[in-house]
Each structure stands twice: as structure tokens, then as C-alpha cells.
Structure 1
Amino acid sequence: MSRAAEPADHTSDVVIVGGGASGLSLAHQLAAAGRLDFTLVEAPDGPRRPPERTWCYWDQNTGGSQATGDEQDTGDLQEAVSASWSRLRIHPTDGRPVTVDPSPLRYRMLRSAEFERLVYSGLARSSGAHVLRATADTVRDTADGAEVRCTTPEGRALTLRARHVFDSRPRPLLPPARTELMQHFRGWFVRTDTDRFDPTVADLMDFRVPQPQHGLAFGYVLPLSPNQALVEYTEFSRTPLTTEAYDAALTRYSRDVLELGAHTVESAEQGVIPMTDGHFTRRVGRSVFRIGAAGGATRPATGYTFAAVQRQSRAIAAALRDGHARVPPPHGRRALAMDAVLLRALDTGRVDGPDFFTRLFRRVPTERLLRFLDGDTSVREEWTIGLRTPIGPMLRTAVEVPFLPRRARPAPRIGESHR
């Protein structure tokens, strides 16, 4: 049975620091493996605990059957899924929508509360799982492993010792990068007085909003029922907005573009995700590793994170079962090189962001494009996708990027990506 770690020094095989998407995902995988004794350190109730978040990803539409192959990355999360969509839509700036069928993939949404319940139900069945509500103060190597020094809600100091520590806490400094944008967003969960949404279609990018000087902006609509949806305003730009500015943008989008009419905002969520071509170090000590966004799981040019976290968690759990610790790179070198070029092209304005993404969804088979965004395409497929982009500006940027200096910048206050 899962149990809270006692308020005394504790030794286990593994300590996981942080109870966000990556920490919970690794705990979920270790509990399913059932071979290791591990402790999950979560922040106590209060300002350090994030509010409820939304995560989205796409996977194979298995129709409830047992997942196989790559589907296993997310196939065990189905009972936590809140909604899913069989069609995706892009609205270019001219307003003529592009509706696509990503079959055999399906776009899925889960809320952090449901995900937490799923994970904790697995921890409750695992004799090796421990959960500690405490603030992790320091993480360091020791002669025979690593230790995490914590402070309990009552103010007591506690030391956890383990063979390996996997730390998912946000980094205080981002790695030096040539280009850095922020994906920043605010979303409203709205309920309209009359039916306004098509629950079968998710609006992935709606560019019918004013565009920033650098980067791009779009609306994002996930219908939950004919009169309920998550309506979000997102920017890829250099500087986040104030909450008041996000709310003003959402008000204009809901009123002037979506024409929702009378509606109620039932809750809101907000976040900032770095989009950077910096190199994220995953191993920071002999026995200490960074995971999740802190370990580079966020796809630099899109902000997609959740599916990469699932792949990484499975790989870590498999390595530990084999008797060694490793954190594989969440994204391949080709994907990161292409992202570095696209980030620079967006930041310099050499490519028009709305036109770039609209062109891809119009000209590239959707299933292939989504696999590309997940880093799961061949060189040949990537070549055919590249031919659908503005070749001249992209080539010019590709030649320039290797010679750009890398600069360190402070990390923003990071929210968890909805992707």
C-alpha cells in the first residue's frame, strides 16, 4: 500500500522531486514496474503547489483496445482523459478554415486533477511507493548515491537518501541559447448561454487575432460540450503579458471572433513556457538527473511537452529495471536543429508565423505533420515537409544559426505547457 513517508530520515532506491507532469509520470511508471522502492516529494499545500492544469497530446485511436508499439507512450492514461477530438481546425488570418482529420491519431485532453487521481491509485497499490509532502531545499550527490534535504510543513528538516534522484523542479537559469521566445498563454473555461461549439472539432490555431511584432499569436479552442469549452489566447513572443492584457485579448477574441454571446467564465489557467534552442543538461551529478521541462522535454519550436515526458518516463523506468540509470534525450538532434532554425526565423520575422503553420496544415498530410511535431519522422519525410516551407528564408536562417552566440538568460516563472 502506498504510504506517506514518515517525518524521519528515509532511504530508498529512487527519489523523485516534484509532483508536476514529469514527476507524477515517472512515479506512475515506477509503481507499474513494482520492483523499486521510491519516494515522491511533492510541495505541501500553499503557494508552491500549482493550480489545476490542462495537458493535451495526440495518440493512436485504439478504440479501447490494447495499445501496441508507440501507442504505449500514452495508452495507459485513457481513464484520465477528459475529452478528445477526431478533427482539428486551423483558422488562417483570412478566416478560411482548414479542417483536417489526423486519423489514426486523436487529440486528447486531460486535467491534472484526473491525472493525479490516476497516479495516486497506482501508488496506493504499490508497496514500494512513498509520498512526502515537503519542500525540497537541496539536492546533491553523496559518496554512495544522492540526498535530498527537505523541510516538512511543520518546519522539520528531513534528509532523503537514494541511489538515484530525478529532479523535475524548474531551473533557476535557462541554458545559454541563440534564440529564445516564450510561449505564454491564458485560458478561460467558459459556459455559453446557447450552443456555440462543435464538440468534434478542436481549434488548434486560430490566427484571427492581432499579431505581435515578433513571433505569432493565436486562439485555441477545445470544446467540451456544445456550450462549454476551454478558450485560450497564446503568444509565441519575447515577453509575457499581464493578466489584464490576456483578459482583454480573450474578451476581444470571445466577442469579436468567436461571437460567443452571453457566457460565464468558470475558471482560468495561465502559464509561461520557454521556447529555446539552449542545450538542457540532463545529468547534473553522478546520481542526480533532471527530467521533464527542466531536462529539455519541451519541444523548442512548438512548446509540446506532455508526450515527450511520457516517453522519457517509460525509458527511465525501463533502464532502472535493468539496473542502471539514464535519462534519454527527449528529442532527437535533427528535430532540435530544425527547431533552432524555425525559432530564429520566427523571431527575426523572416517567416510569417500564421502563414507558415497554415501552409503546413494545408499541404502536409496531417498524421505525418503531427508525427513531425513529435519528432517521429524519417529524413525523407522531413525533406518533403521542408519543401512546403518558405525555402529561401529558411535556408538563409539555417546558414546563420551555427554562427550566432549563445547567451544565458534568467528563467521565467514557468507554467506547465498544455501540450
Structure 2
Amino acid sequence: MIVPEYYYVIVGGGLAGLQLASEIQRNVFFHGKKVAIIDPSLKTENDKTWCFWEKGDGQWDHIVHKSWNKGKFVAKDIDKSLKLGDYTYKMIRSIDLYKELKDQLRRSDNFYFIQDEIEKIDPVTRTAVGKKANYTATHFFDSRPTEAYKNDKNSNLIYQHFKGWVVETENESFDPDVFTMMDYRLKYEDSTSFTYILPITSKKALIEYTFFTPFLTEETVYDEMLTRYIENILQLKHWKITETEKGVIPMTDFPFKKTNSRHITKIGTGGGWVKPSSGYSFRNTEKKVQKIIENLKAGFATTKGIYNRKFRKYDAIFLDVLYNNNELGESLFSKLYSKNSMEEIFRFLDEETGFNEDLKIMLSLYHPEFIRSFFRKL
């Protein structure tokens, strides 16, 4: 039998791939094992922003770009201040995380960064076929999104798609202490669409126009909505765009667990690590990476305990409602943020609540469509 070139091959050097590689490097159990991180991109640009909430100090605080202890939610007849309690809402720029983890990994002789695009992985020969070369390993961690979720008739697919501008103004225009979770004052017709604002300073903010919809849209739509929001809602007169980011995140109840196999573990977006009902992934990735490390050390299947069946059911019902009645988004999120504390919401989205807490959240969202969706997904 041919000895594999690497012990692990991680396909994708983004959030999930680099966090997994970092935890492998830091754990003495894996010392001496060769690991390759393969990605077609060198990750030398700031291509996205990650936000998350947590209590107290965290391991990423030294690269957090901005944090907030207060937020707000705005909709029809609602302008609600969001008190985060013991939580802090934190923002990390991707370039800072890439540099931090790549610098850490390069200090080890057993980690190799390879610029290549993997086209397929053969589980029989345990070979990743790239455009430049082939790579063998005992196990592959694959972050490439599967196409199967797009055509699965038994699951719903909502796209979180957005475009954001970092806007700078001549005058003080933002409150740097308060972020805006959702502002529904400017909506795209018959859709769940809103504006998200992360103020960096009193003269600088990331403003994103975001959709939670079954459809995608033309880029000109984002530009139009952002311009209208800035000029008509914020009423800014002198402003300029200094950075742009955009993305499409799948929010789906597709059974990603089935895409894993004995020698291939799907990770990141490709493994369904994006929280289906919210689109958040940073904290989910941290938790799932830790679980994979525990499983590898214990000799268990890599995905043991990674997928929470109860919360997958909750997510499936919520997605079904939005998929079939997308115009209900503003009403549902208004109920969520006006009838629950942020601590309760964060715990629920972190999948840390018990049944009584779950019931309180679900009752606060009540709409007849949830009953129909419950029986459809049942």
C-alpha cells in the first residue's frame, strides 16, 4: 500500500479550514502529523467580515476590529434598543484572521500551504485531484460547497445575499457605540430584506443591504438600495465608499450529515456549519472544530455529535415559513426582538437552550404558517 503523502489534507484555507488546522497544530496529540492546506487563493485580501457574540473575553479579542455592547432593531412602528447583557457583539475582518492563523501555522514544519484548486476527492484511493497536482492523505476535510442542497426536493433553501459598503463621511454621522442588527425601513418588494449597520467610528461605518430570500438579484439592486438608504434614511450629504464586500450564504435544512464519509469530512459552509435560520457561522465553526478534535482523539467518527437534531428541526420549520411566505420576515423578526431579551435570543441561536426556553421563543414568533410548516416538515 502506498503511504499517504499527508496525514490530513484540508481543502480550503478559509475560516473553517484555518481554524481546524490551528487546533490540530496546538494539540500535542497531533504532533508530527503532516497537514496540507490547499486553496486556490492566497487569502491576501479582506474579502469578508465575520461578526459573532460571546460573553466576556475571547481568544480572538486581539484581532477584533470593533465591538459593541449595545444594538438596535428598527421596523414599522418599532425602534428598539437591544441590551446585550453579559454579551458583546464582535467584528473581525477576514484579512486579520487569515494573517493571524497563517503566521501561526507557518511556524510549524508539518503544515504546508499549497495554492491549487481541488477538482475532486477519490475516497477509494484517498487522493485529492487538483489542477496542478494530486495529493494523498489518510483523511480529507473538505470545505467546498456541495451542489446537492440546491436540488433537494425535501429541504428548503433561502439565500442570505448581501452587498456592503464601508462609508466614510465628512461630518460625525454614526454612533460608534450602537450597531443596527436589522432596519426594515427600506424593503425590497414582497421580501425579507433589511439594512445592517456596523459603525466603526463616528465618521465611518459598514452598511450592508441584506436579503433572506429564495431568489438572488442583480448587483444593481444592492447599489440602488444602499444609495437610497444612505441618502433618504440616514440623510447623509457628503459620503464616499472606501471598501466593498458582498456574499451569498446558503441557509438550508438540507441533511449535510449525509455528505460525510469514512475518509472525507465536509466542513464550513460545505458541511452545513452555517446556522440555517440566521446565517451566522463564526461561533458554530469554533464549536464544531473543537468537537472534531475531540472525536479524532477519542477514535470516534469525525462528525459524532456535530449536528443537533432538535435545532435542525427548529431551523427547518422557520426556513419553511420564510420560503413559502417570504414577506413575513419583518413581522417574525419584529416579534423575536421585541418579545425576547438578547440573552435569550443569543442562547437560542447558539443552541444552548432547554425546551422551556425554546418554547418561549417559539410562542413569541407564533403565526398560523408555523403550524402548516410544522406538519410539512414533520
- Once residues 97 and 178 of structure 1 are traced to their aligned partners in structure 2, the CA distance between those partners, rounded to angstroms, is 34
What is the aligned partner in structure 2 of residue 113 from structure 1? 95
Residue equivalent to 2:20: 26
1:227 Cα deviation from its structure 2 partner: 0.6
Deviates more, 1:246-255 or 1:342-351: 342-351
1:328, CA displacement in angstroms? 4.3
For the residues of structure 2 that align with 1:32 and 1:281, how far apart are their CA atoms?
A: 27
- Separation in 2, partners of 1:255, 1:328: 50
Deviation string 1:293-344 (CA, Å, 9 cap, x unpaired) is 1111112221111211111111112322334551246542121111221122
Which residues in structure 2 correspond to 1:191-340 (within 5 Å)? 191-213=168-190, 215-281=191-257, 283-328=259-304, 330-340=306-316
CA shift in 2, pair 1:323/1:338, >3 Å: closer
Q: Is the 8 Å Cα contact of residues 345 and 351 (structure 1) preserved in structure 2?
A: no
Q: Deviations over 1:54-84 (max 9, x none)?
A: 111111123xxxxxxxxxxxx3222221111
The corresponding residue for 1:77 is 60
| Structure with more contact order per residue of length (Cα contacts < 8 Å, sep ≥ 6) | 1
Of 10-19 and 346-355, deviating more is 346-355
Amino acid at match of 2:127: E
| Distance in 1, Cα, partners of 2:306 & 2:64 | 23
- Relative to structure 1, the CA distance from residue 320 to residue 350 in structure 2 (aligned partners, 3 Å threshold; closer, same or farther) is closer
Q: Which runs of 5+ in 2 are unaligned?
A: none
**In the alignment, is residue 97 of structure 1 matched against residue 92 of structure 2?**
no
1:40 aligns with 2:37: yes
1:103 CA displacement: 2.0
Which of residues 332, 340, 349 is equivalent to 1:373?
349
Structure 2 residue 120 is the aligned partner of structure 1 residue 138: yes
C-alpha root-mean-square deviation of aligned residues, in Å?
Answer: 2.2
1:257 & 1:330 partners in 2: Cα distance?
Answer: 42
Q: Distance in 2 between matches of 1:361 and 1:91?
A: 10
Indicate how the Cα distance of structure 1 residues 253 and 306 shifts in structure 2: closer, same or farther if over 3 A, else same: same
| Per-residue deviation, 1:183 | 1.0
Q: Secondary structure at the match of 2:65?
A: strand
TM-score, normalization by structure 1: 0.83
Instruction: Give the letter for the 1:125 counterpart.
Output: R
Instruction: Report Cα offsets for 1:206-260 as digits up to 9, x if no partner.
Output: 11112432x4011000011111110000011122111111100100011111222
Q: 1:163 aligns with which of 132, 138, 150?
A: 138
Shift of 1:178: 3.4
Q: How many correspondences in the alignment? A: 371
Unpaired runs of 5+ residues, structure 1, are: 1-8, 63-74, 153-157, 403-419
1:174 aligns to 2:149 (yes or no) = yes
Tell me which protein shows more helix as a share of its residues.
2
CA distance in structure 1 between the aligned counterparts of 2:109 and 2:299, rounded to whole angstroms = 19
Greater mean alpha carbon deviation, residues 182-191 or residues 330-339: 330-339
Say which SS state the counterpart of residue 19 (structure 2) adopts: helix
2:49 aligned with 1:54:
yes
Q: Deviations over 1:23-46 (max 9, x none)?
A: 111112112214232111121459
SS at match of 1:106: strand
Q: Distance in 2 between matches of 1:373 and 1:362?
A: 16
Q: CA deviation at 1:392?
A: 3.2
